[in-house]
Copies of this chain bind each other. A is one copy, B any other.
Amino acid sequence: MQPDKQFLASQRAADTADAGHSIAIICGGGSFPGAVADAITRRGWRPVMLAIRGWADPNVVERYTHHWVALGQAGRVLSLARAEHCCEALFIGTVLRPPLTQIRLDWQMIRMMPRVVGFFRGGDDRLLSGVASLFEDGGLRIIGVKEVAPEIIGPEGVLGRYQPSPRDRADVARAFKVMAALGPFDVGQAVVVANDHVLAVEAAEGTDNLLARIAELRGQGRVTTPTGVGVLVKAPKPGQDQRFDLPAIGPRTITNVARAGLAGIAVAAGSTIIADAAEVIAAADRAKIFLIGVGEDAT
């Protein structure tokens, strides 16, 4: 196939001239695509934003070389990556599981549809891994954020001024156990435990909604653990393909955890995005909540 030959030629060129190394960033919503692009730029590489229409934020992606693509235009993503000399791409930012009917298919995608329909059954992880395999078959290697922007991944240890108490550490351990138990079901990157009691398990609602729920239930007297007790734990699903959909926290998470009346946040060290670390830690200190990265040994 002619395009693949062209692609391999550009790949070799990129390999031999690292200064011109270009990486495609397939951008969903939020500010993280910009943080990743900045990290790539700091390494002397060139980010190319392939911005998903309806999800990517124009204010974020338009600061860089960018092209707009529709969900489902796998062929267009592959040809743009080739034209921009990218042999690697990563996914970053929010794209909620789309309904099949809202996806705009190009011809390459239509040819792949029998496979794609299969990805839509089952959990998000299967969907994303399936989509990645389509790109890899087209010659575009899908990499993880960790490989090009390790500085936006939360490290191990206490990150702010406040320390978790032994009570908090027990709640953290229990939350990690709940996540491990849910591993086979592709559900739950967030769990809230207070005084050994599981208050909330995230599924389709997202962490902001989950924390708002705790605040609301507390207001209604349905959550009765005292304020300042309980933890939010964020971690990838066990066995999850960590090239996609890493859990993430930001300043808003801190605000919401404080409103929910919890003591702090624990994240899986090495696999949770904390994009504005300085801002997040300052916010945690102001709210008097602890923030800790927990290594795999400790869970």
Query: Within the assembled complex, what's the spacing in Å between the Cα atoms of A97 and B187?
Result: 26
* Cross-chain pairs A/B with CB under 8 angstroms, 13 sampled: A99-B221, A121-B196, A178-B187, A181-B185, A182-B182, A186-B198, A192-B203, A198-B204, A200-B203, A200-B204, A201-B203, A209-B217, A213-B213
Q: Known contacts A121-B195, A186-B198, A195-B121: does B181 contact A205 (CB below 8 Å)?
A: no
Q: Which residue of B lies closest to A197 (CB)?
A: B123
Digitize A167-208: 1 where CB-to-B-CB distance is under 8 Å, 0 elsewhere: 000000010011001101111100010011111110111100
Query: Within the assembled complex, what's the spacing in Å between the Cα atoms of A186 and B201?
Result: 12
> Is there contact, CB below 8 Å, between B221 and A201?
no
Residues in chain B near residue A187, CB distance under 8 A: 178, 198, 201
Query: Within the assembled complex, what's the spacing in Å between the Cα atoms of A57 and B188?
Result: 37
Q: Which residue of B lies closest to A98 (CB)?
A: B224
Most buried by B among A123, A174, A184, A224: A224
Selected from B177, B199, B205, the residue in CB contact (under 8 A) with A200 is B205
User: What's the number of copies of this chain in the assembled complex?
Assistant: 2
Query: Within the assembled complex, what's the spacing in Å between the Cα atoms of A147 and B234?
Result: 43
Confirm or deny: A114 has a beta carbon within 8 angstroms of a beta carbon on chain B: no
Hey, which bits of chain A sit against chain B, CB under 8 A? 96-99, 102, 120-124, 174, 177-178, 181-182, 184-188, 192, 195-201, 203-206, 209, 213-214, 217, 221-224, 226
Query: Within the assembled complex, what's the spacing in Å between the Cα atoms of A121 and B170?
Result: 12
Query: Within the assembled complex, what's the spacing in Å between the Cα atoms of A209 and B212?
Result: 13
Instruction: Name the distance in Å between A167's Cβ and chain B's nearest Cβ.
Output: 10
Q: Known contacts A195-B121, A198-B187: does B222 contact A205 (CB below 8 Å)?
A: yes
Query: Within the assembled complex, what's the spacing in Å between the Cα atoms of A182 and B224?
Result: 22
> Is there contact, CB below 8 Å, between B203 and A199?
yes
Residues in chain B near residue A203, CB distance under 8 A: 192, 198-201
Q: Which residue of B lies closest to A184 (CB)?
A: B181
Residues in chain B near residue A185, CB distance under 8 A: 174, 177-178, 181, 198
Residues in chain B near residue A123, CB distance under 8 A: 196-198
Q: Known contacts A121-B195, A122-B197, A182-B178: does B188 contact A205 (CB below 8 Å)?
A: no
Query: Within the assembled complex, what's the spacing in Å between the Cα atoms of A103 and B221?
Result: 14
> Is there contact, CB below 8 Å, between B96 and A224?
yes
Q: Known contacts A123-B198, A196-B121, A213-B209: does B186 contact A99 (CB below 8 Å)?
A: no
Residues in chain B near residue A188, CB distance under 8 A: 201
Q: Which residue of B lies closest to A223 (CB)?
A: B204
Instruction: Name the distance in Å between A99's Cβ and chain B's nearest Cβ.
Output: 4
> Is there contact, CB below 8 Å, between A224 and B186?
no
Query: Within the assembled complex, what's the spacing in Å between the Cα atoms of A2 and B213?
Result: 50
Query: Within the assembled complex, what's the spacing in Å between the Cα atoms of A181 and B97?
Result: 24
